[in-house]
Structure 1
């Protein structure tokens, strides 16, 4: 997907991540080096935006941390931007910077431009359409900060992807990749229906789905996910690692509850054939709007997730 920052419902949004940004398609997401033609991004865009907006507090904290690490960047690039929610967070965090949202899905970038216009950042906001990492060669000048949220794991050869990201940096520029963290949690271990521990079994099913997604990518290469080591191999100097928490306690807003329901619905699709009949029946009850034990009605639904950001600097 594109940046799903939630194009992804990426790993949690992918469903290990959050999709495109948000994401964390992003999309959970994310111009990711694979074919976008079989997905209706126009139809997907409102969902991707809603998810990224829900996660905005997390992205704002990440941007604030990066603003302490990267002083007055001239160009900030969001590689795998999806509909641009996080791109606009960076436009706000770096008011003196030009921001370029990069993605493989043109309709999502249209929404990114519209969002920047609504937020008053259109005069320093542009977009670039194409597949990562090669499209970065078309930047007008190198990036002082390049942000890639759960877009790297949609590239078959992640080492080559990181090398492409590194080439797009100015000397002294910073690469920040959001990969990994902790799977999202929405419910207690024992929810009063079905067998306790449903979330853990969903996580296991998702890991299998994620591994299959990676294996099916063109030019897929298995990598040990030691991100600082991979950043070093790309010729960069690892600079820091920090995790950011999204903690939305019960009772949830209607918007957050709708996100959880959509997320579990996708999990239910992916889990068919990987969970036993009892767990599938429990998911069906959770997704039934009329069931008092379902996501739409139960009072104990929450959102708790951690995303990890790794930074590295291109030597001068």
Structure 2
């Protein structure tokens, strides 16, 4: 299990390819996962700073719980760059290669930050990347949630939807929180856009049709997971059923305008290649031809050479507090 901290598919805002974790070689995708997280670094840092203020903002100016989608009403810092007072231990559950855990460590410099994942190779990459700053914990998720140790803040990005019973997973994570602690779940948001509606190949609206096929694939992936349970994905309500008090939802923009650098184009090509492997049989012939043209490494119409390619998506973070 890993979070892409990010989503799944070129238009993905939903995780890492929407295939059962047991059948996927996360280790082979380590560099790709790192780039995906790097693309979202600005949004994640902004989200972490919001969490830092929210941690100490238990009530708003009227004495009620802060449950807005805007700026947190109060802030509690200790003078160390905005780190919330009392955050001693942070878990990044489904951390992958540790990019986002590293960003959390920068925002919470006084805390022990632990990257949690099922992949030993990805956790080793996290240790190397952080120069030993991060702690790591290999765990079978969700079976070993109760072995993670207590935490003041838990971040889980695009990982919960890879678990069959999402509600049970949230409830287990809530049980690890210390009193007053926060659980932050980054799920869904907006699927990425990376080309104009009409980009000169095939019928306009290609990405919308790709998204539709991808959503069907996501539903199929969920249905095949062990202990798969249908759930209305109202994340604040799910967090409340886990015994927590919802404390705010915010969405953070990831905006890389055209023309893109070569590395980001290569990232998009990898995403498109994965989508081709997953969805080609479900696409209409015209859309399949468009996808294959975008994958052409030599053609000027390929994603590696298009000056109109951009990257735009939104990451939504839902939070809740333990009484």
**TM-score past 0.5 threshold:** yes
| Structure with larger RCO (C-alpha < 8 A, sep 6+) | 2
73-82 vs 56-65, greater mean Cα deviation = 56-65
Instruction: Name the SS for the 2:252 alignment partner.
Output: strand
1-side partners of 2:279 and 2:142: how far apart?
31
2-side partners of 1:283 and 1:179: how far apart?
26
Check whether the contact 2:14–2:188 (CA below 8 A) recurs between aligned residues: no
User: What's 1:109 paired with?
Assistant: 123
Instruction: Name the SS for the 1:176 alignment partner.
Output: strand
Instruction: Name the SS for the 1:132 alignment partner.
Output: coil
Structure 1 length-normalised TM: 0.88
**Which structure's CA Rg is the greater one?**
2
Q: Find the partner of 1:95 among 109, 112, 120.
A: 109
- Please list, as runs of the form range in 1=range in 2, the aligned pairs for 1:67-86 lying within 5 A after superposition: 67-70=52-55, 71-72=84-85, 73-86=87-100
Check whether the contact 2:18–2:217 (CA below 8 A) recurs between aligned residues: no
Following TM superposition, the consecutive aligned residue runs of length 4 or more in structure 1 with deviations greater than 6 angstroms are none
Check whether the contact 2:4–2:96 (CA below 8 A) recurs between aligned residues: yes
Unaligned runs of 5+ in 1: 20-24
**1:29 to 1:211, Cα distance in 2 relative to 1, 3 A:** closer
Unaligned runs of 5+ in 2: 56-83
1-side partners of 2:93 and 2:198: how far apart?
39
Structure 2 length-normalised TM: 0.87
Residue 61 of structure 2 corresponds to residue 65 of structure 1: no
User: What's 2:79 paired with?
Assistant: none
- Cα RMSD, aligned residues only: 1.8
Q: Give the deviation of 1:132 after TM superposition.
A: 2.1
User: What's 1:2 paired with?
Assistant: 2
User: What's 2:72 paired with?
Assistant: none
User: What's 1:22 paired with?
Assistant: none
User: What's 1:135 paired with?
Assistant: 144
Residue 260 of structure 2 corresponds to residue 252 of structure 1: yes
Instruction: Name the SS for the 1:76 alignment partner.
Output: strand
